[in-house]
Amino acid sequence: REWRAAWIATVANIDWPSKPGLSAEAQQAEIKALCDTAVSTGLNALILQVRTSADALYESKLEPWSEYLTGTQDQHPGYDPLAVWLAECRLRGLELHAWFNPYRARQGTAKSTAADSHVSRSRPDWVKRYGDQLWMDPGEPAAAEHTLAVVRDVLTRYAIDGVHIDDYFYPYPIQDPVTKIDVDFPDEPSWQRYVDKGGVLTRADWRRYNVNTLVQRLYTMSHEVRPGTRVGISPFGLPKPDMRPPGIAGFSQYDKLYADVELWLREGWMDYLAPQLYWPRAQAPQAFEVLLQAWRALNPLGRPIHPGLFTSRINDTPQSWQPDEVLGQIDSIRRLSPGSGHIHFSMAALAQNRKGIADALRSTSYAAR
């Protein structure tokens, strides 16, 4: 059947909980309401962000409770959110995939003081400041082992349907305010250790090797620990420059995030790809249909491709999309990739029924259940 999903972003309380510090009862009421909305709209899967920045939205001995639950990092919310999400999804026949940020250690707008158990305090040698964020260095092998241990722990204790990672590998570049040149990620210690041990890769290729290794190991480990788990990756939506169709232009995740998504597809290190196709169909340099076809052509093993749709671009600003843009993109997916599916970013747009988008999906695109 067609896979119809939505991301539930917990970082900065984008989707849930609606704000930090709600009672356990209020948070659980919001969980039930969002699950009800998902079902009534016509979705059959949710992708819940359970690790935003080396924190946990579930019972964990490896990382502290997320500040987005209570307002204070490592303060117990009074219940186990992931367990409740799982139970409510099961009651309604919804899949639940657990979404992890592999490397981010602190988001820019975070307010809570880091707990003693947070990696920035327990292992400061792994963590680098980059702009207003903290980031675990992908070049630190022990940091990658820690991320894999976190995912293994969740897979071992929770009957989730999938493991999901997004587009944050090395961080999106920031610019020096004076020179307007990209600031390089501060990984000199781990890079120098690699060189001193006889490493021969260029720095960019070494960074890609670090990410490739994590992706491959995540895929293998997930299937070993919980057979049948689906591993999904949601990268930035443009292929690398030398693999793009004519006329497509823009940011290169291969060169800037060190994400060789095309390699991962060729090797089969994922069970589905969800490229973030966050542009309108008429925007020629990032044309939706052209990009969807491009990713399908880069997929020799025939992995399912479930594009990410920027449904939250429907809002109350003058630049807002109209619901017809999202409905039209779903039509394009069905025409070009029958039997596939898609993911809405994010659940808030559907829960708030912005410009009637949930009603429109219910009555048109999702009328056939």
Domain ranges of the chain: 3-365
What is the predicted pLDDT for the residue at 30? 98
Cα–Cα dist 300/210, whole Å = 24
Name the strands in the sheet holding 104-106, side by side, starting at the edge strand that comes first in the sequence: 104-106, 133-136, 127-130
8 A C-beta contact, residue 274 and residue 233: yes
What is the predicted pLDDT for the residue at 1? 84
Is residue 122 classed exposed, middle or buried when 0-12, 13-18 and 19+ CB atoms within 10 A define those classes?
middle
What is the predicted pLDDT for the residue at 239? 98
Query: How would you write the pLDDT of the chain (369 residues) with one tens digit per residue?
Result: 899 999 999 999 999 999 999 999 999 999 999 999 999 999 999 999 999 999 999 999 999 999 999 999 999 999 999 999 999 999 999 999 999 999 999 999 999 999 999 999 999 999 999 999 999 999 999 999 999 999 999 999 999 999 999 999 999 999 999 999 999 999 999 999 999 999 999 999 999 999 999 999 999 999 999 999 999 999 999 999 999 999 999 999 999 999 999 999 999 999 999 999 999 999 999 999 999 999 999 999 999 999 999 999 999 999 999 999 999 999 999 999 988 999 999 999 999 999 999 999 999 999 986
Residue 254, SS3? helix
Q: Which two tokens stand for residue 59?
A: 């019972």
Cα–Cα dist 350/344, whole Å = 9
Handedness of CA 271, 225, 258, 118 (dihedral sign): positive
Cα–Cα dist 342/363, whole Å = 18
For β-strands 133-136 and 127-130, DSSP reports them as antiparallel
Cα–Cα dist 70/83, whole Å = 17
Strands (E), 123-223: 127-130, 133-136, 162-165
CB atoms within 10 A of CB 345: 23
Residue 96, SS3? strand
Residue 324, SS3? helix
Question: Does domain 3-365 correspond to CATH entry 3.20.20.80?
Answer: yes
Spatial CB neighbours of 124, under 8 Å, sequence gap ≥ 6: none
Q: What are the φ and ψ backbone dihedral angles of 140, each rounded to 5 degrees?
A: -90, 105
